[in-house]
Amino acid sequence: MSDIKTVNLKINGMPAAVPAGSTILEAARYVGIKIPTLCYLKDINAIGACRVCVVEVKGARSLVASCVYPVNEGMEVFTATPKVLESRRTTVELMLSDHNKNCLSCVRSTNCELQTLAEELGCNAQKFSGETKFYPADATHASIIRDNSKCILCRRCVAACKNYQSVAVIGANARGFDTHVGCLFERRLNDVACVGCGQCINVCPTGALREKDGIDDVMRAMNDPSKTVIVGTAPSVRIALGEEFGYPTGTNVEGKMAAALRRLGFKHVFDVDFSADLTIMEEGYEFLSRVKNGGALPMITSCSPGWVKFIEHNFPELIPNLSSCKSPQQMFGAVAKTYYAEKLGADPKDMYVVTVMPCTAKKFEKGRSHQDAAGVPDVDAVLTTREFARFIKRQGIIFKELPDEPFDAPFGIGSGAGLIFGSSGGVMEAALRTVAEVLEGKPLKGVDFCAVRGLDGVKEAEYAVAEMKVKVAVASGLKNARALMEKVKSGEADYHFIEIMACPGGCLNGGGQPIKTAYERNFTDYRADRMNAIYKSDRAMTLRKSHENPAIKEIYKEYFGEPNSNRAHHVLHTKYTGRSKI
């Protein structure tokens, strides 16, 4: 710490010593002061545009934007003078003058940063009434709805799409009063190369972006006596859902989650950790086959639908490198409507499969071609973690008072390998736990492959397995994925196996997870908290390898025969297609 250069200043009369290079916004936290923001997001968007974070600096001729203004030795800062508060209040009131104020029915009500700030500043929402712009909502995309009547032009979504994900399909169109966020040539979201990752939703401070809600569809199916409605929950939902009910970030609420699903009325409550294990069996043996038989290498994972659509748009020449495995979600639906339907003696068309996912892109994925093993869609409805929480609240279920309950058999058994799918590096580690043991022909001494863990954008490792050096890489966030794919495309990269997750940090930070405020995103490590919860749960499990899951053994014995069999390929594998880059 002594080597870190510090700057001394005063904030509201209180002395502070902060690291050199800090902004006033960052420095204020050292004396317990929170300066509000609307456009600023650490490492994503620092443009000083919204003017909500302005402060007074002694000697400066005007208010300055604290999010981009660096501290200087001896500086004196005042964060809440009458002049500052009046400026912030006027700024927010001007935003409200052209804002759709239908707050009571907005999906972000009580979790809207504009709403919160207006309340804190004592704003008059009608002070600057006058002409407003009307924008019809764009609901053409399978996953995302854009409603510019609620947009405040903070440009966080634009920055996330471009700087975070390198997708860059949205930007500021027109000028002046007509400025709005849109796509090139005013195209709809469905007509551009949007991958549906939902990171734009997660950074939006208002309800201008939201996922397409599937709760009503699910309820209709539940009230149809001809339907058998089953549900499966993704690995990372259990470590984020609790945040919607007041639990600390990173709390595993698996037992209460299963209990809530039963009380919602699902006939069978399953765990997609099971089909994550199934994915490892198929993907692991596919990798072994490619290594032995000269298949396309590096093999690249295919469980992230935002990533799959990204490669189809941007690197179609690398499609042969994608694993042909369906994602755990789609495998879950496929086995439910084939293997499980046969066990129940049910017609697949009468099975209604719901999944609860951390991911908005899963809503698009369920409608892809080659996702209909039983002649009907593998999955019928996808609810995000946020929708699931709203569903629970709508039905009057008191989540914190629920008992802990287990999942149902046979798809309620999952291993630690399936669970860690929720974190960047988890798919790779799960695969290595199985592939290494198969190649070695003996139990592993340790199942922790720590080099592929963590929140770094790109991770590399090399493992000696059965006298073979296996070179692997892991990337999370599509900006990092693009950089890695450019190396693969040019021949610069030399890997055997690559894991890609569309969302930075993996599914734990998916576009359908609980939304964190700008303050939480800027000053807390919520992704690490969620990741640590996943690995803590994995360590506590006795079953930590996919191939040792007894339910997996049973389904191969009864139905598939062996991994990558003809029947397994028909039910559990898929195809991809190149798409336009625009």
Average pLDDT of the segment spanning 233-249: 98
Q: What is the pLDDT of residue 332?
A: 98
Largest CA distance in the chain: 80
Average pLDDT of the segment spanning 206-218: 98
Average pLDDT of the segment spanning 53-64: 97
Same domain, yes or no: 364 and 509: yes
Whether residue 305 contacts residue 500, with contact meaning beta carbons closer than 8 Å, is answered with no
Same domain, yes or no: 172 and 136: yes
Average pLDDT of the segment spanning 418-438: 96
Looking at the predicted structure, is the pLDDT value of residue 1 above 60? no
Same domain, yes or no: 226 and 207: no
Looking at the predicted structure, is the pLDDT value of residue 382 above 90? yes
Strand-by-strand arrangement of the 268-271 sheet: 268-271, 228-233, 351-357, 381-384
Mean pLDDT of the chain, nearest integer:
96
Give phi and psi for 20, each to the nearest 5.
-60, 140
Looking at the predicted structure, is the pLDDT value of residue 424 above 90? yes
Same domain, yes or no: 62 and 102: no
- Higher confidence at residue 263 or residue 580? 263
**Rounded CA Rg of the chain:** 25
Looking at the predicted structure, is the pLDDT value of residue 458 above 80? yes
Alpha-helical runs (H) found in 74-155: 82-97, 113-121
**pLDDT tier at 191, thresholds 50, 70, 90:** very high
Domain that holds residue 313: 215-572
Same domain, yes or no: 206 and 281: no
Same domain, yes or no: 143 and 13: no
CATH code at position 146: 3.30.70.20
Alpha-helical runs (H) found in 294-395: 305-314, 328-335, 341-344, 361-365, 385-394
Same domain, yes or no: 204 and 232: no
Looking at the predicted structure, is the pLDDT value of residue 229 above 50? yes
Same domain, yes or no: 443 and 325: yes
Same domain, yes or no: 145 and 240: no
Looking at the predicted structure, is the pLDDT value of residue 339 above 50? yes
**pLDDT tier at 2, thresholds 50, 70, 90:** low
CATH code at position 66: 3.10.20.740
Q: What is the pTM of this model?
A: 0.96
Q: CB neighbours of 46 closer than 8 A, spacing ≥ 6?
A: 40, 67, 68
> What secondary structure letter does DSSP report for 508?
G
Q: Is residue 44 part of a domain?
A: yes
End-to-end CA distance of the chain: 48
Average pLDDT of the segment spanning 549-574: 98
